[in-house]
Amino acid sequence: MRGCCRPRNTRDNTALLIRLAEMKPTVSVGYREGNGNDPGAGMLDNEEFLFEGHPRELTQNPLQKIWMPHKNGHIAHRRVCMTNCPTLIVTVGLPARGKTYISKKLTRYLNWIGVATKEFNVGDYRRECLKIYKSFEFFRPDNEEGLKIRRHCATSALNDVCQYLSVEGGHVAVFDATNTTRERRNTIINFAEQNGFKVFFVESVCEDPDVIAENIVQVKLGNPDYKNCNPEEALEDFMKRIKCYESSYQPLDEDLDRNVSYIKIIDVGRQYLVNRVADHIQSRIVYYLMNIHITPRSIYLCRHGESDLNIKGRIGGDSGLSPRGKDFAKRLRNFIDEQKIKDLKVWTSQMKRTIQTAECLGVPYEQWKALNEIDAGVCEEMMYEEIQEHYPQEFAMRDQDKYRYRYPKGESYEDLVQRLEPVIMELERQENVLVICHQAVMRCLLAYFLDKTADELPYLKCPLHTVLKLTPIAYGCQVESMYLGVESVNTHRERPQNVTTQRSTEDALQTVPAHL
């Protein structure tokens, strides 16, 4: 759960906290076995954990190449252990202060770094409960019926939070609602205490009318509440809705809330007040929230031009561009010129093919080792046919779980995500950036921006000679794909139907793209 380089991810069982000591029952809440295909994993087998006075045998797990203790021919149970209890993140703030934006973005980030996170938007519960929204009157503090419904929605959202964190193995729940009164927040704190969750509040305070109006136009007018309204009417109603909360709003207070963990974001990131950061995940959340911004910009992702090894159908290596790859690099220059991008930064990996591509642009660029292609270890520079020939088991395992599979002496996609976390953090800080990278790297970056799951990630289509332009809009990201018209080989290998280790060579090579 601790994220980058830390072995605490939730969607894997890389996170090895091997427990020989007895586990406290409260801690075992929220544990889950990473790959989920071991039905006995949920149960504690204390005998497995007893220390027997001499070192246990180690066996390397074939998928992730992790050394694990071994006893009587069985692999001792390894489990993702949260030494920290699950965390409930609670947004605080008037409507149109970007709470949902922050919730969604944070959820996306945490899931990407491997912390199972889900957001619970109380507004969605209300819309579910009350199919038709009439007007702001619903939110008036003296609307008893309205209050009852809203309280009911908050309660059912909290029940779902409990289900998610205690039963479904979630690690972080984002409770997205206004939570503007201390009374409501205390209810949540009590709820969390009873269930053994930590609470972290994220308050967004903003008084700039322009920012608020912009936010309403950006996200609220598209909201189901105002589907059939004209924009002026909707804006007016929404402003009244905000008014309904203003009288009872009690911001988090330096003194009264001094024992509560929170971050207060003032004027969309001009200032932050951070109180009692309690653990690693809260510290990561604070760092992330302090690095994101909402200045409009675009991120351009592309791979290097076609390389000599691409043509031969060989993976990895550090070869130069093919003639067509060089053509692409020139087209890329024209394309970037045409886009007339303000203060564009260009990043490459430290591999020859991305640097050659960037050299053609005639602009400054920076090399990141973290952007290097996935390390295929012993399979570097091999064709898929050769991998199948020399390492058929490895090849099959990779097809079984491509995200977690680690090449012998190499990396997995999961490793890559951890390696790319600082890149994502810096991309969040920057404005217009062109990232010239590699297939696996681009898939990881794209998965972050498009909120793709670990299963989908390794199969995202990132063809050569194609630039993806990502522009943040409302809660998501608009993608434009631009093929620059220079032919290249296809390097995308689909998941074959047969992924068993006993499969035939033909089955294994069924989806290998054509090459020389």
Partner 1 sequence: MALTLNTASEQNNLTQTPLLKIWVPWMGFNLNRRRGSSVPQFCNSPTVIVMVGLPARGKTYISKKLTRYLNWIGVPTKVFNVGQYRREAVKTYKNFEFFKPDNEEAMRIRKACASAALKDVAVYFSKENGQVAVFDATNTTRERRAVINSFAKERGYKVFFVESICDDPEIIAENIRQVKFGSPDYIDRDEDEAMEDFIKRIDCYKTSYLPIDDEKDRYLCSLRTIMMHSMILCISKFSLLFLLVSRNLSYIKIFDVGSRYLVNRVRDHIQSRIVYYLMNIHVTPRSIYLSRHGESELNLLGRIGGDSSLSPRGQKFASSLASFIRGQRIKDLKVWTSHMKRTIQTAEALGVQYEQWKALNEIDAGVCEELTYEEIQENFMEEFALRDQDKYRYRYPKGESYEDLVHRLEPVIMELERQENVLVICHQAVMRCLLAYFLDKPADELPYLRCPLHTVLKLTPVAYGCKVESFYLNIEAVNTHRERPKVSLLQFTCRMMHFHQGTTSLVLVQS
In the complex, what is the shortest distance from the CB of residue 308 to partner 1, in angstroms, rounded to a whole number?
12
CA distances from 473 to 324, 421, 442 (A): 34, 22, 20
Given the complex with partner 1, which of 7 and 98 has the nearer CB atom?
7
In the complex, what is the shortest distance from the CB of residue 39 to partner 1, in angstroms, rounded to a whole number?
24
307 is in an annotated binding site: yes
305 is in an annotated binding site: yes
Exactly one of 234, 292, 370, 417 binds partner 1 (CB under 8 A); that residue is 370
In the complex, what is the shortest distance from the CB of residue 209 to partner 1, in angstroms, rounded to a whole number?
20
- Determine contact, residues 92/175, Cβ cutoff 8 Å: no
How many Cα neighbours within 13 Å face the side chain of 139? 23
Strands 366-367 and 345-348 come out as: parallel
What is the spatial distance between Cα 321 and Cα 335, in angstroms, rounded to a whole number? 19
What is the spatial distance between Cα 177 and Cα 493, in angstroms, rounded to a whole number? 43
Task: Please choose, out of 13-21, 163-171, 446-454, 464-472, the segment that lies near partner 1 by the rule CB under 8 A.
Answer: 13-21
Taking the CA atoms of 363, 366, 371 and 375 in sequence, report the sign of the dihedral they define. positive
Given the complex with partner 1, which of 239 and 355 has the nearer CB atom?
355
Size of the site for partner 1 (CB under 8 A): 72
Exactly one of 21, 43, 514, 516 binds partner 1 (CB under 8 A); that residue is 21
Given the complex with partner 1, which of 376 and 467 has the nearer CB atom?
376
Q: Which residue among the candidates 304, 380, 394, 438 is catalytic per the annotation?
A: 304
Exactly one of 26, 46, 248, 350 binds partner 1 (CB under 8 A); that residue is 350
Q: Does 205 bind partner 1 (CB under 8 A)?
A: no
In the complex, what is the shortest distance from the CB of residue 58 to partner 1, in angstroms, rounded to a whole number?
6
309 is in an annotated binding site: yes
Exactly one of 41, 66, 88, 447 binds partner 1 (CB under 8 A); that residue is 66
**Token digits of residue 147:** 């209050």
* DSSP conformational letter for 511: T
Q: Does 378 bind partner 1 (CB under 8 A)?
A: no
Q: Does 274 bind partner 1 (CB under 8 A)?
A: yes
What is the spatial distance between Cα 429 and Cα 447, in angstroms, rounded to a whole number? 18
- Determine contact, residues 107/119, Cβ cutoff 8 Å: yes
Q: Does 369 bind partner 1 (CB under 8 A)?
A: yes
CA distances from 202 to 18, 60, 102, 106, 277 (A): 33, 42, 9, 11, 12
Q: Does 362 bind partner 1 (CB under 8 A)?
A: yes
Given the complex with partner 1, which of 303 and 493 has the nearer CB atom?
303
Taking the CA atoms of 42, 47, 48 and 53 in sequence, report the sign of the dihedral they define. positive
Applying the rule CB under 8 A, the residues between 68 and 107 that interact with partner 1 are 69, 81
Crossing angle (nearest 10°) for helices 144-162 and 122-129: 120
Q: Does 351 bind partner 1 (CB under 8 A)?
A: yes
Task: Please choose, out of 47-55, 117-125, 138-146, 227-235, the segment that lies near partner 1 by the rule CB under 8 A.
Answer: 47-55
Q: Is 313 helix (H, G, I), strand (E, B) or coil?
A: coil
Exactly one of 386, 426, 431, 451 binds partner 1 (CB under 8 A); that residue is 426
- Determine contact, residues 315/308, Cβ cutoff 8 Å: no
**Token digits of residue 390:** 């020399």
What is the spatial distance between Cα 351 and Cα 368, in angstroms, rounded to a whole number? 9
Crossing angle (nearest 10°) for helices 413-429 and 99-112: 150
169 is in an annotated binding site: no
Exactly one of 10, 310, 418, 491 binds partner 1 (CB under 8 A); that residue is 418
Given the complex with partner 1, which of 16 and 161 has the nearer CB atom?
16
Torsion region of 273: left, alpha or beta (phi above 0 gives left; psi -120 to 50 gives alpha): beta
In the complex, what is the shortest distance from the CB of residue 500 to partner 1, in angstroms, rounded to a whole number?
27
Q: Does 55 bind partner 1 (CB under 8 A)?
A: yes
Exactly one of 360, 424, 436, 508 binds partner 1 (CB under 8 A); that residue is 360
171 is in an annotated binding site: no
Amino acid in position 398:
R
Strands 172-176 and 87-92 come out as: parallel
Exactly one of 60, 295, 453, 490 binds partner 1 (CB under 8 A); that residue is 60
Exactly one of 42, 214, 272, 498 binds partner 1 (CB under 8 A); that residue is 272
293 counts as catalytic: no
Q: What length does the chain have?
A: 516
304 counts as catalytic: yes
Given the complex with partner 1, which of 2 and 185 has the nearer CB atom?
2
Binding residues for substrate: 303-310, 353
Catalytic residue IDs: 304, 373
Instruction: Extract the annotated binding site.
Output: 303-310, 353
